[in-house]
Amino acid sequence: AVPLGGICRISASLDEEASAKAAAATADAGGLTIFDKIISKEIPSSIVYEDEKVLAFRDINPQAPVHVLVIPKLRDGLTQLGKAVPGHTEILGHLLYVARLVAEKEGILDGFRVVINNGPGACQSVYHLHLHVLGGRQMKWPPG
């Protein structure tokens, strides 16, 4: 097990309920997540790109001037990348291509990073697969 106390920060900008949910979501319970409400537009988000299969929207707690999340509209068991099976290769490829479209749209094609946090040991907090597209500043290496 990975000691998580204080390592995986929860956004202070989230409202209390969302923050509590995020804090509770340190393991893959397989249930609905906040992203289901973003996909259904029950909760508004700042949408950057959308098609029939994926949605890209701005992260509520941006870690760079550009920080967009790209998610499949149908989770289909993909709570995390580690759950991927051969039937997911098409959507996985599409998500990655959309990350590139987002980077172009946001004007960061010359320097951007795509991140997938998988599981508690990587500080995943929402169990619906998502790609982080980050840029608009000099990115450092190695990441934390």
Size of the site for ligand TR5 (CB under 6 A): 16
Binding mask 6-35 for ligand TR5 (x = CB under 6 A): -----x--x---x---x-----------x-
Are 46 and 53 contacting, i.e. CB atoms less than 8 angstroms apart? Answer: no
Q: Mask: binding to ligand TR5, 39-58, rule CB under 6 A, as x and -? A: ----x-x-------------
- The one-letter code for the residue type at 130 is H
Among 88, 117, 119, 136, binds ligand TR5 (CB under 6 A): 117
Q: Which of 137, 75, 129, 78 is CA-nearest to residue 108?
A: 137
Nearer to ligand TR5, 22 or 91 (CB): 22
Angle (CA) 111-117-119 rounded to 5° is: 170
Q: Which of residues 86-105 bind ligand TR5 (CB under 6 A)?
A: none
Instruction: Say if residue 3 is preceded by a cis peptide, omega within 30 of 0.
Output: no
